[in-house]
Structures are given as structure tokens and as C-alpha cells.
């Protein structure tokens, strides 16, 4: 099978995980690197170059055109609306969903000195950092994971915040200074989950990827994405979420905050794992009624966050 992927070191590592898990031998399947809008503009503000789908659209177009048989995505990068004709064939077992702080001095988030410069391109991370430490300076940082670490090492930042899953998959976990507790920083919806996208009418590929499916990852991903959709959000909106399946039940915790750290809202909901989507929808509605609507409207109208 032909596997569509971005060309970054992390995307290739993730696609190799999928290639190795597919039926047959890895040599039976080929990787096809496809450049996305986000890849073609590595230094531009994510919000300024297109918002939703900037890391996925070109890959999905190739899938719809029959140029590839399946696509591998970080679930957190996928818009909540799947294009007509495509389907999520499998959600792989979730890797560590937390964010990680990497600092040059070895300081943790709470022990960084006042006015230390923290790099991240995520409004979600910015919001939660400043909610915890309003005395820090958060600056935008684009680039793939090795590039971000290199900029840290060059002294451009005192610390960076990145996904722990990416560090693990690139065998860079020894760089972690602190794994950020979810009580301090909730991850992006879908963070740590790899999604395999296929054509809806491709029964052969659907059968091949079925063995990669992890039911808990599916339920958690569905709850978090339903919450995000209910908030009318995307990967650029300051929304954090973490669902956990325990037996037949699922618990979902979510955060919505202004990128300046205030105001912010954090709430939770629970229900049956089989109704994970309904749990996400209900929590989104409750948060909108509790002030999330006003926060998100303010963010969308703020010229600093186009």
C-alpha cells in the first residue's frame, strides 16, 4: 500500500510505526512524502496561512485522487470535519498525551525565573502557561521538533514546550526537563493519537488497517474532537482536552482560555465510553454557557491572534 505522510522527521517516524503494523512486511508498503501548506511556510504564523487543515489538506487531496491508499496524521492536526469520501480507518493506541517542558537551565515551569522566554506556536499552551506564570514571556516558535530544540540550544529561548509523544517517537525523551501535569496544562484534543485516514469506499484498505484500531484511543479521540467541534474550534484555538476511558466509562476534562492567561474556564463531564461523542458535545455546550463563548469570540476578534 501507498502511505501518504508529511516529510518531517516526526511524521516519517509515525508513518514507519504504521507501516510496520500493517499486514505483510514493511517492504510491502511505500511511503509517499507530501508537502502541506504548513510545511511550505515553516516560519509563518499558523493562523495567517490558513487555519484548519494546513498540515492535512494536500495529503487528503492525494488520498481522494487515488494517489495514495492511506494517510497517517497526528490526530491533533486533523480538522474535526472529515472531507466527503474519506473516513478514519483506525486510531492507534495513544502515546503519552502530555506536554513537556524542555529548559536550558534545567528549571521547571514553576522555577523558571521571572521574564524567562518560553517558545511555543500554540495559543493553548500560551494560555495555560500564562494562567500559571503570568510573569513569563511567551514567544511564537515555529518549526519541526528538532528545529525547536536547536533554537533552544542556540539560546533564543529559555524553555520550549512540545508534545511528549513527539519526543518519545523521535527518541529524544532524554531532553525532557518536566512532564507537565494535566492539572497545569491540558493537551490538545487528540494529542498522542495517530490516525489512519482512508477512502470511505476502499474496503480492502479498511480491512487492512482494522487491526491497528485501539478502542480506548477511539473513544478518547471522539470525545475530545466532539468537544472541539462543539466549541467551533480547531488546532489554532486555545482549547485543551483530555478524555480517559476506565472500563465502560469515560471522563473528559477541558480548558478554554484567553491567550493572555485570563480569563479561562476548566470543566469536566463523564458518561459511557460507548457514548463518547455525546459526552464531548454536552461538555462543549456547558462550557459555552459558562463563558467559553465570550472568551473564544474575544480571541477571534483580537488582531494579535488572526
Q: What is the mean pLDDT of residues 139-158?
A: 94
* CATH 3.40.190.10-classified regions of the chain: 1-94+193-213, 99-179
Backbone φ and ψ of 256, nearest 5°: -130, 130
**Known catalytic membership, residue 77:** yes
pLDDT at res. 94: 98
User: Looking at residues 231-253, what average pLDDT do you find?
Assistant: 91
The CATH number fitting domain 214-306, selected from 3.20.20.210, 3.90.550.10, 3.20.20.10, 3.30.160.40: 3.30.160.40
Tens digit of each residue's pLDDT (9 = 90 or more) over 44-97: 555 544 456 778 999 999 999 999 999 999 999 999 999 999 999 999 999 999
Question: Which of 69, 77, 99, 260 is the catalytic position?
Answer: 77
Q: Inform me whether the pLDDT recorded for 174 exceeds 50.
A: yes
Q: What is the pLDDT of residues 3-21, one digit of tens each?
A: 999 999 999 999 999 999 9
Across the range 154-165, mean pLDDT stands at 97
Predicted local distance difference test score (pLDDT) of residue 42: 56
Q: Identify the pLDDT of residue 142.
A: 81
pLDDT for 143 equals 86
Mean pLDDT confidence for 111-134: 96
Mean pLDDT value across the chain: 93
Q: Which CATH number fits domain 1-94+193-213: 3.20.20.70, 2.60.40.420, 3.40.50.1370, 3.40.190.10?
A: 3.40.190.10
pLDDT given at position 232: 87
Residue 218 pLDDT? 98
Confidence of residue 256 (pLDDT cuts 50, 70, 90): very high
CATH H-level superfamily of 99-179: Periplasmic binding protein-like II (3.40.190.10)
Amino acid at each position: 500500500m501507498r502511505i501518504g505522510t508529511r516529510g518531517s522527521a516526526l511524521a516519517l517516524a509515525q508513518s514507519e510505526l504504521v507501516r510496520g503494523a500493517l499486514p505483510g512486511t514493511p517492504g510491502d508498503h511505500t511511503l509517499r512524502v507530501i508537502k502541506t501548506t504548513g510545511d511550505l511556510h515553516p516560519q509563518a504564523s499558523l493562523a495567517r496561512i490558513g487555519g484548519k487543515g494546513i498540515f492535512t489538506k494536500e495529503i487528503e487531496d492525494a488520498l481522494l485522487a487515488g494517489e495514495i491508499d492511506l494517510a497517517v496524521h497526528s490526530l491533533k492536526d486533523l480538522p474535526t470535519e472529515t472531507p466527503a469520501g474519506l473516513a478514519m480507518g483506525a486510531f492507534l493506541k495513544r502515546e503519552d498525551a502530555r506536554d513537556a517542558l524542555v529548559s536550558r537551565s534545567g528549571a521547571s515551569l514553576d522555577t523558571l525565573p521571572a521574564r524567562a522566554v518560553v517558545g511555543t506556536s500554540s495559543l493553548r499552551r500560551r494560555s495555560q502557561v500564562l494562567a500559571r506564570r503570568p510573569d513569563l514571556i511567551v514567544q511564537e516558535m515555529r518549526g519541526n521538533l528538532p528545529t525547536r530544540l536547536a533554537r533552544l540550544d542556540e539560546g533564543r529561548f529559555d524553555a520550549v514546550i512540545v508534545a511528549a509523544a513527539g519526543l518519545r517517537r523521535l527518541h529524544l525523551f532524554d531532553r525532557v526537563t518536566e512532564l507537565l501535569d494535566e492539572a497545569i496544562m491540558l493537551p490538545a484534543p487528540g494529542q498522542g493519537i495517530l490516525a489512519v485516514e482512508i477512502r470511505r469506499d476502499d474496503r480492502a484498505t479498511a480491512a487492512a488497517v482494522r487491526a491497528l484500531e485501539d478502542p480506548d484511543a477511539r473513544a478518547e479521540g471522539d470525545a475530545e474532537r466532539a468537544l472541539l467541534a462543539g466549541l467551533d474550534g480547531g488546532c489554532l484555538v486555545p482549547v485543551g482536552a483530555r478524555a480517559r476511558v476506565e472500563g465502560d466509562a469515560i471522563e473528559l476534562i477541558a480548558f478554554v482560555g484567553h491567550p493572555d492567561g485570563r480569563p479561562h474556564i476548566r470543566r469536566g463531564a463523564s458518561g459511557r465510553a460507548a457514548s463518547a461523542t455525546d459526552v464531548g458535545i454536552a461538555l462543549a455546550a456547558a462550557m459555552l454557557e459558562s463563558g467559553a463563548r465570550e472568551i473564544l469570540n474575544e480571541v477571534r476578534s483580537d488582531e494579535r491572534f488572526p
